């Protein structure tokens, strides 16, 4: 079911909600009672997410390389549940060029090879960010040893080399990550300070040169719905396109917290739609819904709703091509290390058992009829 041509924006969300409730009820009816011929078979709402999503929406996860190597249960679930993977860390600059001029794609190559064996696509994350930049680079800029002119050359090399290394193997690249702040201004980073605002267009051009077929994305958090920050991204995308910069997609990370509440599905759709109207693809790139610990039934239900909003927002958009969660089990998650007292942000618990959020994703995908 693809209902995204229905206007106004709120209508599909309502339709979807009604269908969801109806079919959930339908799915719990006993199936052996002999339904009349004119009734369709109950919608199947179990099974791996990638099967329920079908061919049109890629459902992905970030992959923790250490867990993938050490934990066979984790590795197995990555392969069976998802049709897309993102390296959680091992494609970031500090990992791929730990010392100046020394490139190490070994861990990333392992993930790409495993993805191929599993029939999965790979999202590339990320080329230009203010975080997880190698120390030799930040130190060199700080001491004045690396001049702005040299830095521009270093950035160009980094992008040409990394995108070139994976040429033909990555379907979407997060070219620039988190380049706008919450007020809607270009974020004050080493890149902006040293190179000026043109570094963004440069990064896209270099990435396109190295892999003309990869879809090149802007990516950030707090941009799921309409806001000054997503307004600023919309303006940035328009400016880049007006300069014929090869930008192809807008990624909303989707890091939510139960305690903050969520956007409405209609808000996400309205936001994604305006980027799609510019000719861009959209994607949810890092969905997770954290909570203040400990968990309880109400928080887990709210969490399911948060995932549901993001997934329905994507499904109801015209060109939302991938939906990625930032890890899928509470056994391995970045959240407790970054948000004090918070956790349990993922679809499965620490023993890989399904939480309500996982069931919600199954139901939404199944009922979308993909
Ligand atoms: C996080 C990883 O999950 C952590 O393991 C790492 O220590 C820090 O980065 N936004 C992003 C991701 O774009 O790259 C971040 O990933 C989470 C926030």
Centre of ligand 1 to C-alpha 122, Å, is 17
CA dihedral in degrees (64, 70, 75, 78; nearest 10)? -10
Q: Which has the closest alpha carbon to 352: 141, 78, 84? A: 78
> Nearest to residue 266, comparing CAs of 8, 5, 3?
8
The predicted model gives 183-211 an average pLDDT of 98
The domain locations on the chain are 45-369
Q: 46 C-alpha to center of ligand 1: Å?
A: 30
Helix pair 72-81, 106-117: axis angle to 10 deg? 50
pLDDT tens digits, 285-322: 999 999 999 999 999 999 999 999 999 999 999 999 99
Residue that has been written with the tokens 């014929």 in this structure: 244
pLDDT score of 176 more than 70? yes
Residue 88 in contact with ligand 1 by CB distance below 6 A: yes
Instruction: Give the Å distances, CA to CA, from 167 to 207, 212, 249.
Output: 10, 9, 18
Whether residue 86 has pLDDT greater than 80:
yes
Regarding the beta carbon of 89 and ligand 1, being less than 6 Å apart is answered: yes
User: Cα(249)–Cα(223) distance, rounded to whole angstroms?
Assistant: 13
Using 50, 70 and 90 to split pLDDT, how confident is the model at 55?
A: confident
What does the pLDDT read at residue 370? 53
pLDDT on residue 27:
41
Q: What does the pLDDT read at residue 39?
A: 59
What pLDDT shows up at residue 242?
98
pLDDT band at 16 (very low <50, low <70, confident <90, very high): very low
Residues 6+ apart with CB under 8 A from 64: 74, 88, 89, 327, 332
Q: Which residues are annotated as catalytic? A: 178, 286
Average pLDDT, the chain: 91
User: For 45-369, which CATH superfamily applies?
Assistant: Glycosidases (3.20.20.80)
pLDDT of 194:
98
Q: What is the 233 CA–ligand 1 centroid distance (Å)? A: 21
**Closest-CA residue to 250 (of 223, 229, 228):** 223
- Dist CA 129 CA 132 (whole Å): 7
**8 A C-beta contact, residue 108 and residue 91:** yes
Three-state DSSP state, 361: helix
What burial class does residue 135 get, using C-beta atoms within 10 Å of its C-beta: 0-12 exposed, 13-18 middle, 19+ buried?
exposed
Residue nearest to atom 3 of ligand 1 (CA): 334
More confident residue, 98 or 367: 98
- Is the predicted pLDDT of residue 7 greater than 60, yes or no? no
pLDDT at 17 over 80: no
Is the pLDDT at 67 greater than 90, yes or no? yes
CB 332 near ligand 1, within 6 Å? no
Task: Report the alpha-carbon distance of residue 166 to residue 112 in Å, rounded.
Answer: 9
Cis peptide before 314 (omega within 30 of 0): no
Mutate to test the pocket of ligand 1, among 61, 125, 283, 286 (most ligand atoms within 8 A of CB): 286
User: By percentage, how much of the chain surpasses pLDDT 90?
Assistant: 86
- Report the alpha-carbon distance of residue 106 to residue 104 in Å, rounded: 6
Best mutation site among 87, 88, 107, 253 for ligand 1 pocket (most ligand atoms within 8 Å of CB): 88
| pTM, full prediction | 0.90
Pocket flag, ligand 1, residue 253 (CB < 6 Å): yes
Measured from the CB, is residue 334 less than 6 Å from ligand 1? yes
Are 186 and 179 spatial neighbours (Cβ–Cβ below 8 Å)?
yes
Quick one: which atom of ligand 1 is closest to the CA of 327? 3
Closest atom, ligand 1, to C-alpha of 255: 18
**pLDDT of 38:** 52
Which stretches of the chain are DSSP H helices?
10-28, 49-53, 65-70, 72-81, 93-96, 106-117, 135-143, 148-165, 190-195, 199-210, 228-242, 265-276, 297-315, 335-338, 356-368
User: What gap in Å lies between CA 213 and CA 222, rounded to an integer?
Assistant: 28
Half-sphere exposure of 296 (CA within 13 A, CB side): 3
Whose CA is closest to atom 9 on ligand 1? 89
Distance, in Å, from the CA atom of 76 to the CA atom of 202, rounded to the nearest integer, reads 39
Residue 35 phi/psi, 5-degree rounding, is -75, 145
Q: How far is the CA of 253 from the centre of ligand 1 (A)?
A: 11
Q: What phi-psi label fits residue 120: left (phi over 0), alpha (psi between -120 and 50 degrees) or beta?
A: beta
What's the gap between Cα 216 and its chain centre?
13
Per-residue pLDDT for 50 more than 80? Answer: yes
**Span of 46-55, 140-149, 195-204 with lowest mean pLDDT:** 46-55
- Residue 13 and residue 278: Cα distance in Å, rounded? 22
Q: Using CA atoms, how far apart are residues 311 and 56, in angstroms rounded to an integer?
A: 14
Collapsing DSSP to helix, strand or coil, 218 comes out as strand
Q: Report the percentage of the chain scoring pLDDT > 70.
A: 88
Q: What is the pLDDT of residue 48?
A: 97
| For ligand 1, mutation pick of 287, 326, 331, 337 (most atoms within 8 Å of CB) | 326
């Amino acid at each position: 079911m693809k209902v995204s041509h229905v206007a106004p924006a709120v209508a599909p969300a309502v339709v979807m909600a009604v269908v969801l409730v109806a079919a959930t009820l339908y799915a719990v009816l006993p199936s052996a009672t002999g339904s009349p011929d004119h009734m369709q078979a109950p919608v199947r709402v179990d099974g791996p997410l990638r099967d329920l999503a079908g061919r049109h929406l890629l459902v992905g996860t970030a992959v923790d390389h250490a867990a993938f190597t050490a934990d066979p249960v984790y590795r197995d679930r990555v392969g069976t549940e998802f049709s897309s993977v993102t390296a959680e860390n091992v494609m970031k600059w500090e990992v791929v060029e730990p010392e100046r001029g020394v490139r190490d794609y070994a861990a990333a190559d392992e993930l790409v090879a495993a993805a191929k064996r599993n029939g999965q696509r790979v999202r590339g994350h990320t080329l230009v960010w203010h975080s997880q930049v190698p120390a030799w680079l930040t130190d060199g800029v700080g001491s004045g040893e690396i001049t702005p002119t040299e830095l521009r050359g270093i950035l160009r090399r980094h992008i040409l080399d990394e995108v070139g290394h994976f040429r033909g193997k990555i379907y979407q690249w997060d070219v620039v990550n988190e380049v706008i702040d919450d007020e809607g201004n270009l974020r004050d980073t080493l890149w902006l300070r040293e190179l000026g605002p043109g570094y963004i267009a440069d990064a896209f051009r270099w990435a396109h040169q190295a892999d003309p077929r990869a879809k090149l994305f802007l990516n950030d958090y707090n941009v799921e719905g309409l806001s000054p920050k997503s307004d600023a991204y919309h303006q940035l995308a328009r400016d880049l396109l007006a300069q014929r910069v090869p930008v192809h997609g807008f990624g909303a990370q989707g890091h939510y917290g139960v305690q903050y509440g969520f956007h409405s599905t209609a808000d996400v759709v309205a936001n994604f739609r305006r980027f799609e109207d510019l000719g861009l693809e959209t994607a949810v790139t890092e969905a997770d819904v954290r909570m203040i610990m400990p968990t309880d039934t109400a928080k887990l239900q709210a969490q399911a709703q948060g995932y549901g909003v993001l997934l329905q927002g994507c499904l109801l958009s015209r060109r939302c091509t991938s939906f990625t969660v930032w890890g899928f089990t509470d056994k391995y998650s970045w959240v407790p290390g970054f948000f004090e007292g918070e956790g349990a942000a993922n679809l499965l618990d620490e023993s890989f058992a399904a939480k309500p959020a996982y069931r919600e994703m199954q139901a939404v995908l199944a009922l979308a009829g993909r």
